[in-house]
Structure formats: structure tokens, C-alpha cells
Amino acid sequence: MKTSVRLDKYLADMGFGTRSQVKEKIRQGLVTVNGVTVQKGDVKVDTQADQVQYEGQPVGYVHFEYYMLNKPAGVICATSDRSQTTVIDLISDKKRKDLFPAGRLDKDTEGLVMITNDGALSHRLLSPKNHVAKIYYAKIAGLVTQKDIQDFADGLYVDEEFRAQPARLVTLQRFQKEEESEILVEIFEGKFHQIKRMFEAVGKSVLYLKRLTFGSLSLDGFLAPGAFRALTDRELNALMAPENKKVWGRDILEDIRAVIFDLDGTLIDSMWVWRDIDIEYLKGFGLDMPDDLQENIAGISVTQTAVYFKERFHIPDSIEKIIGDWDRMALEKYTTQVPLKPGALEFLKYLKSRGIPCAIATSNSRRLTQAVLEAHNITGYFQVILTGEDIHKGKPEPDVYLETAGKLKIEPGHCLVFEDIPYGVMAANRAGMTCAAIDDPDSRWQEEDKRRLARYYIQDYFDIMFQTYEELK
């Protein structure tokens, strides 16, 4: 990677104005390199070794930038346009002139667009030979049929010149009265108006289209249309990794009469919240968080965790106050920063369309559980919600799952449980239920145990709907 650039380009790349504007600032003596004032823009700077300051403030150099944008309808995927708003216009506070959208969405299509200046990564993700998957949610005029699903899977002849690669079509809901369908479709290419043309080829039309995923990247549920954010290190590392080719399997919901979800790390991406809270809470008592804390409290109820804290760290407060303090610390994050796991909302719709009741069985508190469900407007999908306040014995004991099955009036053997930690999988197994372990960054160090104990392993809920999960036994 080239590390030597002109000083004026360095500052222009980092958003301090055009080349001519930063040259004037340099001439005015407002810029130093390694503590020495420089007044010529053509001075070469090592982006990795030299220290640049602008008006006394340090300016670091970032070679590549990566952003997730929730593109609204009416915005075009282009770097510039004289008459129309572009995706680059939406991140106008980022002044780099080399940013571009990695791939395109139609003007009226919403959803996930990655903005970057990394041409090599963009080329790898977009190259047809790499078969990088993209999942879209759509509303369709017409009732999607089994024949449509098979035609998509076979490789649909769109017209005389174009036969699409095999694609996966999943029906979320069918509205008989309106003669409309809600669907997910997974494609591995990106031809012009491809999804619209595919549905036209089977006698239907697209009313609304939104991209949810691009490779391993999933749209952040808290990003409003037009909003953007930088990719996290976790997201970027996943994008950089080789894409695994998906193999379609059987429908594991055939004999399932109820689905039960753990909450934290399973239905919502929240485990990072508790790690931060544990650090902050113990710091309030002048204590550092021990390395074995997360392992020792994994799976146990919120009351048991409070007892553990009180006894191990000699906390003077009552159990009720400890739990209350935790809830207050977590509430804002749960309602504004904790996203659903990728595909969770669509999977809940999918289960509802198949008449499969859902429940939550969590070690968390009722207040936080209800708050995060309400924040994502998904409370109505669950017939039963049991929390750590309702059950005395936490996981790996099976009590919470057996009690949940009893309230659902479903035999345990017909229940499918989703869990993210080994203790949770053990609890489901002891209850006589089938368990699918879901990948979660905060429990990845336990992945071997999760795979050993669970029946299935999934990366996200799209794996279940598109039948691309791993069957372990």
C-alpha cells in the first residue's frame, strides 16, 4: 500500500477542503509535520509515520473508509449527479472525493448500500464468479406460488437474453384479499432491474423492494432511511473473510409446533451491553472486572447473577437495588442501540405465516425484555414471555423451557429452541427439545461447545428460512 502522499492531498482526503483550499491554509502556516511548520503543499508525507497537525489539532490518515447507508427511495447510487440526490450526497460531511457505492440499487429501491473507497474489496464482493449473496425483502402484487419458488430455484429465464442464476424465494406472508405477498429473495448477481424482471417473468410485479443483506453485512435496524454509520471492526472483518458457498438443505420446521427464543445474544445483539455494564458497575465500587466473570454468570437468572455479585464482590446493596441499578444502566441502550439479530423480524413473520407460535425464555429482567421488544415493535409475535424473574433455577437447568412449553401447551419434543451459549443449549436438551445454536461474537470462544451440544448451527435467521443452516447430528 502506498504510504507517501502530498501534504495537500493528505488534508483534502481527510476532509479539510479542496486541494486549492488546503494549499492556502498550508501557505498561511497553519499546518505542521512532525512539529515543523510547512508552507508548501507538495511536501511528501508518510501516512503511517509522520505526525500532521492542522491548526494545532492532530490529523490521522485513513486509507480506506467503509460506511453502511440505509438508502431511501428517490436517491440514486452514483457519486455525483447534476439534478438528482446521490448516495454520496447523503454523507456529504465526509469530504473524501474517492468514495463510491459498492454496487447499485434502483432509484426506487431502499435499503443497504455500502459506501467505500476500497476498490479491491468492492470488486471481490461484486464479481459474479464469487457468488456473494444479497437478500431482499419485497412486497409483490400477486400471490407467490410453489411453482414460482421452483422456477427461481431452477434458474429463471427472464427473457431471451438473460437466464438468472438459481435464486432462493421465501414467502413470508400471503394476503388473499389484496392478492399480495411479502417475500424474501436471495440472489447471487446484480443485473439491471433483476428482481423486478424476474417477477415480471412469472406474471407478477414488485410494489416495494428493500435490500437487507450484502454478503455478511446486514442492514442495521436502527438506521433510519437516509442515515449512515461507519462499519464496525466486526462487520469489516467478516466482509474481508472468504464467502462460504451456501448449500440448501431440508426444512427443519416440518415437525415443529412451537419456537422458543432466548433473548440476549440470540434474538437481539446485546451481549456487548452487559460486558460494558459489568465493567462500569464494578468500577463504581473501585473494582476491576475479573477475566472469568462472564463465564461464571453465563445463563443464570438475573436474580442469581445479583446474588453472585453481592457475595463475590461484597456489594453492600440489596439484591433488588443491584438489579434496579443494572436495569437503569441498560434501559437506554436496549431501546436505542441494541439491534435485532439479522433476519429475526422476517423469521417471526415467517413463523406467523406458518401458524407456529413463538415464546421468549430469558434470564434477563422483565422490564428490559419488554422494553427491547417494544422498541422493535415485535411484542405481538410472542404468545408467552418468561424472564429470569419468573423462574428460580437458571440455565443449564431446564425449568424455564419446560415452563414455557407448558404455557404454550406444546409437548417439549415438538419445540425448537434458539440459543447462543452452551448452558442455554444444555437447558434445551435437558428439556427434551431440539436446539439450534446461533453464532454470536461474544460467545464465539464457546463455539466448539455450542456445536457439540446443539442439533443445528446458524449464522443468522436467514439460514433457517433459506435452509442453509448446518446440521450437526
Long-range contact list for 249-252, CB < 8 A, 24+ apart?
249/467, 249/468, 249/469, 249/471, 250/467, 251/467, 252/416, 252/434, 252/436, 252/456, 252/464, 252/467, 252/469, 252/471
Residue positions annotated with a catalytic role: 106
Strands, E assignment, 124-179: 134-141, 168-175
Cα–Cα nearest to 425, from 379, 370, 473: 473
CA distances from 127 to 102, 119, 123, 237 (A): 11, 12, 6, 19
DSSP state of 318: -
Q: Which of 427, 446, 443 is nearest to 435 (CA)?
A: 427
Dihedral sign (CA 187, 190, 196, 201): negative
CA–CA separation, 87 and 71 (whole Å):
7
- Alpha-carbon 471 to chain mean position: 23
Residues 6+ apart with CB under 8 A from 197: 158, 159, 162, 191
Residue type (1 letter), 304: Q
Distances (CA, A) of 171 to 283, 299, 358: 49, 34, 18
Phi then psi for residue 445, to 5 deg, are: -65, -15
What are the distances in angstroms from CA 136 to CA 69, 111, 333, 347?
Answer: 15, 9, 28, 14
Q: Give yes or no for a contact between 188 and 131, defined as CB atoms under 8 angstroms apart.
A: yes
* 332: helix, strand or coil: helix
